[in-house]
């Protein structure tokens, strides 16, 4: 009997969180949650029915009027309390992430910190919601603008960051006065329930934040529900396109972040030791299951490529790959057996299409070993026509494309359908300035391999990496989760006044 079969009967069931409490859900369709390090089932996940989704939306809608009327300062205070509870529970959340995703505990802790930064940004919501004012636009007439919440909004999030990506969404959505429904990934849902519990402990009113589990049936239910005003999504490009098309057709505001094929340009003058170290983390960290992972290195000059490969090969072959419980591991397993199979297929495709497989990660682990492990792979001689160049692999595979000059590198990157993130490694300020100005990509790093903006900026790509007009979190997030209202007013002159002698407060 397999480890998976042995454990099914004894696993826990992960609940929904609706109306301020856990909800077991009615019997029906469900899925298995795995520990990718062992391949064993760790929990059962009930998939909500459409009736349960409708009830969840009803509760969120009922909670909206009073929460929207709550002064932004009080909303901020809930975020302040949540921030403290989140920091105290960071190890618990990191363990929940690693156990279901497979990433190392250090990586999971870093994910929690990056999510916490958005919570800290949301604590400043009274400042962020300030509008504009003009006195005397006409005789005795003033004009001003205000930002108001949308209503019930939803977030649909991916498996690769089960805590950080939800926190890219709900802290700002809630701080702006909306109520929120989170549909987390079916692969690693436990972190979302911990976050819900912490929000409840922070004093968030019941119904303002809800978690409902499911698959495409629930996604389409959210897209089609007339009482859901906006959808935030992070995932693959085909699904992002569907979310955007269906959601906007139903009159919703949508931000749908899709896939990526992130390039790093390495110039001849780059510090190759430093560059190689950065590329190792950017390509193989979290087993390459990041939308900001570097999957293509564009080397300028033949000598640059040869010297870089010489430095990368021993590092890739020396990757320490193991369970999240191994504190010395550099990289964990892939999320599922099926995904590992897809990544292997890409490696096979690269070989068949003529790329030079310098390091072959397929042979580092076999199917007899427990867990969904795969070693790091490195290709040289990658061409733009190859599948391993055109498509997002989402695994520990790095490809090298050789070009003669920076201009060719820029043209190559600008021609790719994905435009999420990119980077350049150089000591030359003019080369860096030329690159950042000419490159048509949403996020750019200069000697920074994963240019993920801080919480007070905003995250988002171009072309097939983003569908919608707003990037996520930062000031763009505030704009997405609010509607602008312009007010023009005139007051009669004979208004009665009376004195107040106590210190004025915001009651």
* Positions marked active-site: 291
**Residue 346 CB coordination number (10 Å):** 21
| Pair 222, 243: CB distance under 8 Å | no
| Pair 294, 275: CB distance under 8 Å | no
| Pair 480, 255: CB distance under 8 Å | yes
**Residue 277 CB coordination number (10 Å):** 15
Rounded Cα–Cα distance for residues 365 and 377 (Å): 12
Distances (CA, A) of 477 to 70, 126, 219, 473, 484: 20, 14, 21, 4, 13
Q: Please, what sign has the CA dihedral across residues 118, 119, 120, 123?
A: positive
- Which two structure tokens, joined as six digits, stand for 14? 């992960």
Rounded Cα–Cα distance for residues 318 and 304 (Å): 22
Question: Which DSSP category does 331 fall into?
Answer: B
Question: Which DSSP category does 323 fall into?
Answer: -
CB proximity list for 191: less than 8 A, separation 6 or greater: 93, 96, 97, 100, 162, 163, 166, 184
Rounded Cα–Cα distance for residues 227 and 154 (Å): 11
Listing DSSP states for 284-318 in one string gives HGGGG--TT-EEEEEEESHHHHHHHHHHHHHHHHT
Strand 356-359 and strand 377-380: the pairing is: antiparallel
Any idea of the CA torsion for 347, 349, 354, 357, to the nearest 10 degrees? 10
């Amino acid at each position: 009997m397999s480890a998976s079969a042995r454990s099914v009967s004894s696993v826990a069931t992960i609940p929904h969180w609706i109306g301020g409490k856990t909800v077991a859900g009615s019997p029906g369709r469900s899925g298995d949650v795995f520990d990718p390090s062992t391949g064993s089932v760790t929990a059962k996940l009930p998939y909500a029915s459409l009736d349960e989704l409708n009830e969840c939306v009803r509760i969120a809608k009922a909670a909206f009027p009073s929460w929207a009327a709550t002064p932004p300062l009080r909303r901020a205070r809930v975020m302040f309390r949540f921030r403290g509870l989140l920091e105290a529970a960071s190890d618990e959340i990191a363990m929940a992430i690693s156990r279901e995703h497979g990433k190392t505990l250090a990586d999971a802790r870093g994910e929690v910190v990056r999510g916490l930064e958005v919570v800290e940004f949301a604590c400043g919501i009274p400042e962020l919601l300030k509008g504009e004012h003009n006195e005397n636009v006409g005789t005795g007439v003033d004009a001003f603008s205000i930002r108001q919440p949308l209503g019930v909004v939803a977030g649909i999030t991916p498996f690769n960051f089960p805590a950080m990506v939800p926190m890219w969404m709900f802290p700002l959505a809630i701080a702006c006065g909306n109520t929120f429904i989170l549909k987390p990934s079916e692969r690693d849902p436990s972190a979302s329930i911990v976050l819900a519990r912490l929000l409840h402990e922070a004093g968030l009113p019941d119904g303002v934040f809800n978690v409902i589990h499911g698959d495409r049936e629930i996604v389409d239910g959210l897209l089609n529900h007339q009482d859901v005003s906006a959808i935030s999504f992070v995932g693959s490009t085909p699904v992002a396109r569907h979310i955007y098309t269906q959601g906007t057709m139903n009159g919703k505001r949508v931000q749908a972040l899709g896939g990526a094929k992130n390039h790093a340009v390495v110039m001849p003058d780059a510090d190759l030791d430093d560059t190689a170290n950065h590329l190792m983390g950017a390509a193989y960290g979290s087993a390459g299951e990041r939308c900001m992972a570097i999957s293509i290195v564009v080397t300028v000059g033949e000598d640059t490529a040869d010297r870089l490969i010489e430095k990368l090969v021993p590092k890739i072959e020396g990757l320490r790959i193991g369970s999240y419980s191994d504190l010395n591991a550099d990289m964990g397993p892939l999320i599922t057996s099926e995904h590992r199979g897809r990544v292997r297929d890409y490696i096979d495709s690269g070989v068949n299409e003529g790329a030079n497989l310098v390091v072959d990660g397929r042979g580092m682990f076999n199917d007899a070993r427990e867990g969904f492990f795969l070693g790091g792979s490195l290709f040289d001689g990658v061409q733009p026509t190859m599948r391993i160049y055109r498509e997002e692999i989402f695994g520990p595979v790095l490809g090298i494309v050789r070009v003669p000059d920076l201009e060719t590198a820029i043209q190559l990157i600008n021609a790719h359908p994905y435009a999420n993130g990119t980077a350049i490694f150089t000591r030359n300020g003019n080369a860096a300035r030329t690159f950042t100005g000419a490159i048509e990509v949403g996020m750019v790093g200069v000697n920074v391999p994963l240019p993920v903006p801080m919480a007070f900026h905003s995250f988002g790509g171009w072309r097939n990496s983003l569908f919608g007009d707003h990037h996520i979190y930062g000031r763009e997030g505030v704009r997405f989760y609010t509607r602008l209202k312009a007010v023009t007013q005139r007051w009669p002159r004979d208004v009665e006044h009376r004195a107040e002698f106590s210190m004025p407060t915001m009651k």
